[in-house]
Structure 1
Amino acid sequence: AGVLRLLALIFALVTTWMFIRTYISFSMKTIRLPRWLEGPASKEIRVVKSKCSLSKPCPKDYFAFKICSGAANVVGPSMCFENQMIMSPVKNNVGRGLNIALINGSVGTMLRHSYFDMYSGDPNELVKFLKEISGDMLVLVASYDDPGTKMNDEARKLFSNLGSSYAEQLGFRDSWVFLGTKDIKSKSPFEQFLKNDPKTNKYEGWPELLELEGCVPRKVY
């Protein structure tokens, strides 16, 4: 009798243990947390950054760009095109006045860049530079300190032919950023302008810096 009771007890313990194990296994499967809450992921999460840090990527056959004007006479302007910084204070290739970069509009490579002192420089140098722009080029412009004191009528007309809406009124210490191309049929959608006005200037003697970004279509011939 004693042996039978012992066997019955062992049987009951084994049965109970198997039941508990099965229940726990079933519970773990039914309340399993989503993978993103389980801990470190087995695969790396890659964050895709847009070219020139744009808010969203550009479509196919479009170029990404970002142009920032200078801040007063303290911080120089910068230009990014297709994720390449082409002009900036760090590259030491910007200067007071108008900073201009020319881009091959079909392949997106930089052709040349320069800056023109529009306070004490020769405006005819700017005119000569603008006249050499051909139809396959994209023109990026950023102001720094003073872009308009020595801007003459010929230069204003050439900028207007590139699609500018504000070149005609550009004056002393105005802020201006612009992207255009030669003989555009309508005004460029890529332009920002702020007039130097003591009532609205953000900096003492200068308006706020401007930032222009977007996607410009590739030129197809």
Structure 2
Amino acid sequence: MTNKATDVHLAVRNALRAPYQRVALCQTPQGNRFWLKRIERFAPHLWLVKGKPEQAFDRDRSSHRFLWNYGAPVPRIVAEGKGYFAVQDAGASLTKVCADKSVTRTEKLRACRAAGQALARLHAMDLTHGRPAFRDMCWDGRQIRFIDFEYFTPTKAGRLRKARDLCIATLSSLAQGGMGLYYAYSVLSAYVAARGRKPKALPVPYPVAVRNSHPRIR
């Protein structure tokens, strides 16, 4: 076992000994970051609503492994064992990126375009994510990678499932605040372009303040 792999397993062991967290950010002494995911714990009566947590966990892990082996844009699994698995850090979720005031508007739109391209790439493989909300797409400044696959189905996807993916991504982008419309446009236009079609341009690239003598209605 290499030193790098040893460091990861030691960090996993320390995280498993710490107070329970379903998802925990871990780091090796060399600064390599990864996320440890464990079986969710909740009251038994919630099984009627959410199903058995062990089944959801196994579905997420097996789907992640399937997508990685298929060449889909997902972070690599760096360690796994009974009741847990760990994946490399893929950056901040698009939800956090869009809410971060220190991130420029240009960078946010670039991340959204990358999300549209990544979704198109996944659909070109005849696969769908199942719930590609902004919180399930991570941006590291270079690429988008998907996480959380409890709704993934490892079968050939048709138009309906692909359309559902696209609708969820669009609605999630619209929910990101005042720039939501432009996030949605960036996702959709990049998706359409990646699928070999020419997107229509919006008449105005960003919201523009209009000056007049009348009081503004809020």
TM-score higher than 0.5: no
What range is the shorter-chain TM-score in? under 0.3
Q: Which has the larger radius of gyration?
A: 1
TM-score, structure 1 as length reference:
0.23
Report the structure, 1 or 2, having the larger strand content. Answer: 1
TM-score, structure 2 as length reference:
0.23
Report the structure, 1 or 2, having the larger helix content. Answer: 2
